[in-house]
Amino acid sequence: MKMSCDSASEDLLMQHYIDLKDRPFFPTLINYMSSGPVVAMVWEGKGAVKTGRVMLGATNPADSAPGTIRGDFCIDVSKNIIHGSDSVESANKEISLWFKQEELVSYTSCAYSWLY
C-alpha cells in the first residue's frame, strides 16, 4: 500500500475526474476536493477493487449501509468523502495520476501462501 496526504491541485483533480467534466456539478466537485488534504492510497490484492467498493458503500450516502465509510461518515452526495476506482483499468489510470512508479512498493505478505 502506498499513501500520500496532501492537498490536490485543481489540475490533478480535473484530470482525475475528466469523465465528469460536462456534468453540472463538476466545478463544485473540483472546488470541494481541492478545499483540504486528500489521502491517496493504492490497495492491491485479490478482488481489491470490488472489496474496496463494498467497504466504501453506495455513491449516495443515503443508500449506503451502516458500517460502510459513506454510510457512517457521509451525509450528502456532493460532499462524498471517499473515492474508489470502479475497475482495475480505472485504478491503473488513477494510480498513474497520483503516484510516480518509483513511489509504489509491492511486497508479498507472509500470509500470502496461506491465503492463495
Domain ranges of the chain: 44-84
Residue 83 appears among annotated catalytic residues: yes
**What would the mean pLDDT of 20-28 be, rounded to a whole number?**
92
pTM, entire model: 0.81
Catalytic entry in 2, 53, 83, 93:
83
Residue matched to cell numbers 456539478: 25
**What would the mean pLDDT of 81-89 be, rounded to a whole number?**
94
Q: Is residue 56 helix, strand or coil? A: helix
> Confidence class of residue 98 from pLDDT cuts 50, 70 and 90?
very high
CA dihedral defined by 88, 73, 25, 36, rounded to 10 degrees? -90
For residue 95, the model assigns a pLDDT of: 96
For residue 5, the model assigns a pLDDT of: 63
Q: What are all long-range contacts of 7-14, with beta carbons under 8 Å and residues at least 24 apart?
A: 7/34, 7/36, 7/37, 7/38, 8/33, 8/34, 8/38, 8/40, 9/34, 10/34, 12/97, 12/98
Return the higher-pLDDT residue of 91 and 80. 91
Per the prediction, the chain carries an average pLDDT of 90
